[in-house]
């Protein structure tokens, strides 16, 4: 019995299963980000890393437009988590709650932790209908 218990203790723990929604968050999203005290247009594209975690790139349309990345996703609840954002201004944390069935995500960003007033939101980019 002790040998069996010892063997069981040596087995690796099962990996945490990611929420099933993440494949549904891939693609382009547009909305707004609060940057430099004002709302600026935000375009975000999410993909899945080889381990199934979301990651992304974003573009902020400011007086001097810039690009950034969303990496190191840490799931904090069903279809939500924290990313590390990185762009020419530095890096910090953005928390995003995805609701892909509604075509939205709501987020907040900050340096050490997300700040409630610093929105980082998105809705599905719609492809214009052709006639």
> Which CATH number fits the domain that encloses residue 104?
2.40.128
Q: Does 11 score more than 90 pLDDT?
A: no
Provide the pLDDT confidence category of residue 19 given band limits of 50, 70 and 90. confident
Q: Which long-range contacts (CB under 8 A, 24 or more apart) does 6-13 make?
A: none
Residue 59 zone, left/alpha/beta (φ > 0; ψ -120 to 50; rest): beta
Look at residue 7 and tell me if it is in a domain.
Answer: no
For position 60, what pLDDT does the model report?
A: 97
Look at residue 12 and tell me if it is in a domain.
Answer: no
Which pTM was predicted? 0.82
**Structural domain of residue 26, as residue ranges?**
22-124
Look at residue 129 and tell me if it is in a domain.
Answer: no
**How confident is the model over 27-47, as a mean pLDDT?**
95
First to last CA, the chain: 73
Pairwise CA distance, residues 54 & 29, whole Å: 14
Look at residue 79 and tell me if it is in a domain.
Answer: yes
pLDDT tens digits, one per residue of 69-127: 999 999 999 999 999 999 999 999 999 999 998 999 999 999 999 999 999 999 997 65
- Evaluated on CA atoms 56, 60, 64, 70, the torsion sign reads negative
For position 113, what pLDDT does the model report?
A: 95
Look at residue 58 and tell me if it is in a domain.
Answer: yes
């Amino acid at each position: 019995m002790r040998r069996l218990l010892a063997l069981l203790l040596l087995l690796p723990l099962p990996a945490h299963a990611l929420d099933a929604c993440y494949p549904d968050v891939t693609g382009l999203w547009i909305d707004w980000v609060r940057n430099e005290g004002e709302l600026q247009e935000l375009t975000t594209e999410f993909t899945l890393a080889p381990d199934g975690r979301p990651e992304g790139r974003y573009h902020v349309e400011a007086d001097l437009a810039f690009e950034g990345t969303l990496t190191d996703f840490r799931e904090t609840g069903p279809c939500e988590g924290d990313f590390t954002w990185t762009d020419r201004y530095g890096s910090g944390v953005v928390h995003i709650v995805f609701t892909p069935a509604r075509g939205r995500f709501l987020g907040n960003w900050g340096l050490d932790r997300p700040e409630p007033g610093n929105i980082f939101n998105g809705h599905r980019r719609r492809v214009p209908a052709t006639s």
